C-alpha cells in the first residue's frame, strides 16, 4: 500500500461524542487463548486494527480457522490445528504474536516462535515468558532467531516475575490452565487486559483466581470449552480522546468506556484543571483555556499507564508551568520528543525523565511517527499547533486506532489522510 500521511490544521476546539472500539491488547491475548479449546469461540467488538489482522494471520498460519462475521465479530475454530510455528515474517510485524506460545505448549506440547525483535520503545526481551514456561517443565532453546520449546507434561509451579510483565503474566496463565496441578504467579501484572483474559479463561472452564492482584493462582484442568465473549472498550484509545478534548479546550463525551480503568489519567487531568464528569460508561471531558503543568511517573497498573505517557507529554508541551515526566516501564519511550521539539516544544531529557517547559503555542512542522503512541502524541500536538502539520509513517497509528481521522473530524478537527 502507498505510504500515507495526515494533514492536520491546528486551532479547532473539539466538541461532540466519540465511540470507543474494542481494546487492542485485550483482543490479542484473548485471540491467542482461543487456541486452548477445540470448540469454536466467538469474539465480539474486536477492533479492526493492523495488530489484530496480523494476529489473525498468525493463528491462520498455525492451521486455525478464523473468520470475520457481521462487522466486528471473529469466529475462531481451532479444532484440528497442528502447526506449532509462528514465523519470523509475521512475528517481526507484531511482537504480541509471542502470546500464542503458552497456548501452543498447552495444546500441542511444542512451540517454535521467531524471537520477537525490539521496537522503537525498547529491547522488549521475553525472558520472563521463557523462565515461566521452563518452571512449568518445558525445555526451551533459543537459536538462529527462534525460540524452540517442547514439553511432555506441563506441571504447575510457583513463578516469581522480576517485573509485573503484562505479556508474561498472560502467556504463563494460558499455559498453566491445562497444566497438571496448581501454578502461582507472584508479582503478576494487574492490568485490566490480564483480568479480562482471566475472565475469558474461566468462562472456558479454567480455574484462575487472584485476577487484578499480584498473586494469580491457576488450578490446571483437563479441557476447556468454547466461549462467546465481548471485548471491553480500549482504555488507551479513550484516554487519547480525553487528552484531545483537554489540549484543544474542547468539550467531548467519550462513550462506552469504564471510567474505573482510567483512574490515574482522570486524576492527573483534573489536577491539570480539566473538568471530568463521570456517568456509568460515559466520560465527559471539558478542557480549560490552558491546562496547568503536572508531573507524571509511569508505573505498572494501577499506576499511570506507560501507553498514555506520549499523549500526556503532548498536553504538557502547552501547559502553564513546567512538568516532569518519568518513564519507568520502557527504556526508550521518548521517541516522540524530537518531533515535539521540532514543533516548538521546550523539552529536556535527563535519563528516564523529561522536563517540559510549557509554551504558549506550538507551530506546525513536517514530523513522523516512530511508534504507535508516539504518533498519537504528534497528532494531538498538530491539533493545537499554529499552521498545518504533516505527519508521516502513520501506519504506526493504524496498529492501534480505528478510524482516527474520521472520529477526530466528527469532533471538529481539520485533519485528512492523503497519499505521501
Q: Choose, by CB under 6 A, the member of 79, 89, 127, 420 that binds ligand EPZ.
A: 127
Q: Choose, by CB under 6 A, the member of 128, 133, 200, 229 that binds ligand EPZ.
A: 128
Decide if 28 contacts 236 (C-beta within 8 A): no
Give whole-number Cα distances, 237 to 198, 360, 400, in Å.
22, 27, 8
Least Å distance, CB 76 to ligand EPZ, is 18
Least Å distance, CB 138 to ligand EPZ, is 15
Q: Choose, by CB under 6 A, the member of 25, 323, 370, 389 that binds ligand EPZ.
A: 25
174 in contact with ligand EPZ (CB under 6 A): no
For the chain, counts of helices (H) and of strands (E): 14, 24
23 in contact with ligand EPZ (CB under 6 A): no
Cβ closer to ligand EPZ: 166 or 347? 166
372 in contact with ligand EPZ (CB under 6 A): yes
* Residues within window 299-318 making contact with ligand EPZ, judged by CB under 6 A: 306-307
126 in contact with ligand EPZ (CB under 6 A): yes
Here the cell at position 270 is 483534573
Candidates 114, 34, 105, 137; CA nearest to 76 is 34
335 in contact with ligand EPZ (CB under 6 A): no
Q: Which residues of 132-153 are buried (b: 16+ CB within 10 A; e: fewer)?
A: bbebbbbebeeeeebbbbebee
167 in contact with ligand EPZ (CB under 6 A): yes
Here the cell at position 314 is 503532548
What is the spatial order of strands in the sheet that 85-86 belongs to? 85-86, 110-114, 146-150, 139-143
Q: In sequence order, what are the beta bridge partners of 157?
A: none
Q: Which stretch binds ligand EPZ (CB under 6 A): 123-131, 178-186, 209-217, 308-316?
A: 123-131
Decide if 55 contacts 83 (C-beta within 8 A): no
Q: Choose, by CB under 6 A, the member of 122, 249, 303, 412 that binds ligand EPZ.
A: 122
Q: Choose, by CB under 6 A, the member of 6, 28, 383, 411 that binds ligand EPZ.
A: 28
Least Å distance, CB 51 to ligand EPZ, is 7
Instruction: Name the 3-class secondary structure at 393.
Output: coil
Give whole-number Cα distances, 152 to 112, 206, 330, 405, in Å.
15, 21, 35, 50
Nearest residue (beta carbon) to ligand EPZ: 167
124 in contact with ligand EPZ (CB under 6 A): yes
Active-site annotation holds for 41: no
Q: Which stretch binds ligand EPZ (CB under 6 A): 32-40, 158-166, 278-286, 402-410?
A: 158-166
Here the cell at position 68 is 470475520
E strand intervals along 162-233: 182-186, 207-209, 215-219, 228-230
Binding-site size, ligand EPZ (CB under 6 A): 22
Q: Choose, by CB under 6 A, the member of 18, 135, 168, 176 that binds ligand EPZ.
A: 168
Catalytic residue annotation: 119
Q: Which residues of the chain form contacts with ligand EPZ (CB under 6 A)?
A: 24-25, 28, 96, 122, 124-129, 163, 165-168, 306-307, 329-330, 372, 400
Amino acid at each position: 500500500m502507498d505510504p500515507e500521511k495526515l494533514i492536520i490544521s491546528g486551532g479547532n476546539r473539539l466538541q461532540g461524542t466519540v465511540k470507543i472500539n474494542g481494546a487492542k491488547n485485550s483482543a490479542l491475548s484473548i485471540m491467542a487463548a482461543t487456541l486452548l479449546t477445540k470448540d469454536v469461540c466467538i469474539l465480539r467488538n474486536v477492533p479492526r486494527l493492523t495488530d489484530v489482522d496480523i494476529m489473525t494471520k498468525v493463528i491462520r498460519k498455525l492451521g486455525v480457522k478464523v473468520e470475520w462475521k457481521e462487522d466486528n465479530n471473529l469466529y475462531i475454530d481451532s479444532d484440528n490445528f497442528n502447526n506449532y510455528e509462528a514465523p519470523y515474517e509475521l512475528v517481526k510485524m507484531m511482537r504480541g504474536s509471542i502470546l500464542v506460545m503458552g497456548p501452543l505448549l498447552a495444546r500441542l506440547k511444542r512451540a517454535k516462535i521467531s524471537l520477537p525483535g525490539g521496537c522503537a520503545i525498547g529491547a522488549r526481551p521475553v525472558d520472563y515468558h521463557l523462565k515461566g514456561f521452563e518452571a512449568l517443565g518445558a525445555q526451551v532453546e533459543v537459536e538462529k532467531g527462534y525460540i524452540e520449546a517442547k514439553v511432555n507434561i506441563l506441571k504447575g509451579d510457583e513463578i516469581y516475575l522480576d517485573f509485573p510483565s503484562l505479556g508474561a503474566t498472560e502467556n504463563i496463565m494460558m499455559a498453566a490452565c491445562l497444566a497438571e496441578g496448581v501454578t502461582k504467579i507472584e508479582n503478576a501484572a494487574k492490568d485490566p487486559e490480564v483480568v479480562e483474559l482471566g475472565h475469558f479463561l474461566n468462562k472456558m472452564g479454567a480455574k484462575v483466581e487472584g485476577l487484578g492482584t499480584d498473586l494469580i493462582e491457576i488450578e490446571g484442568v483437563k479441557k476447556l470449552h468454547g466461549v462467546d465473549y465481548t471485548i471491553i472498550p480500549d482504555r488507551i484509545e479513550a484516554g487519547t480522546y480525553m487528552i484531545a478534548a483537554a489540549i484543544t479546550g474542547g468539550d467531548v463525551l467519550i462513550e462506552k468506556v469504564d471510567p474505573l480503568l482510567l483512574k490515574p489519567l482522570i486524576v492527573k487531568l483534573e489536577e491539570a484543571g480539566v473538568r471530568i464528569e463521570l456517568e456509568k460508561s460515559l466520560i465527559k471531558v471539558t478542557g480549560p483555556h490552558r491546562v496547568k503543568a503536572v508531573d507524571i511517573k509511569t508505573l505498572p497498573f494501577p499506576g499511570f499507564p506507560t501507553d498514555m505517557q506520549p499523549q500526556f507529554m503532548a498536553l504538557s508541551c502547552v501547559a502553564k508551568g513546567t512538568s516532569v515526566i518519568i518513564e519507568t516501564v520502557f527504556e526508550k519511550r521518548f521517541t516522540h520528543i524530537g518531533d515535539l521539539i521540532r514543533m516548538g516544544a521546550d523539552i529536556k531529557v535527563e535519563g528516564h525523565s523529561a522536563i517540559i517547559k510549557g509554551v504558549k503555542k506550538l507551530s506546525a512542522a513536517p514530523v513522523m511517527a516512530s511508534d504507535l503512541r508516539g504518533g498519537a502524541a504528534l497528532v494531538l500536538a498538530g491539533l493545537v499547533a499554529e499552521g498545518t502539520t504533516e505527519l508521516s509513517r502513520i501506519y504506526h497509528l493504524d496498529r492501534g486506532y480505528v478510524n482516527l481521522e474520521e472520529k477526530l473530524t466528527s469532533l471538529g478537527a481539520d485533519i485528512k489522510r492523503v497519499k505521501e
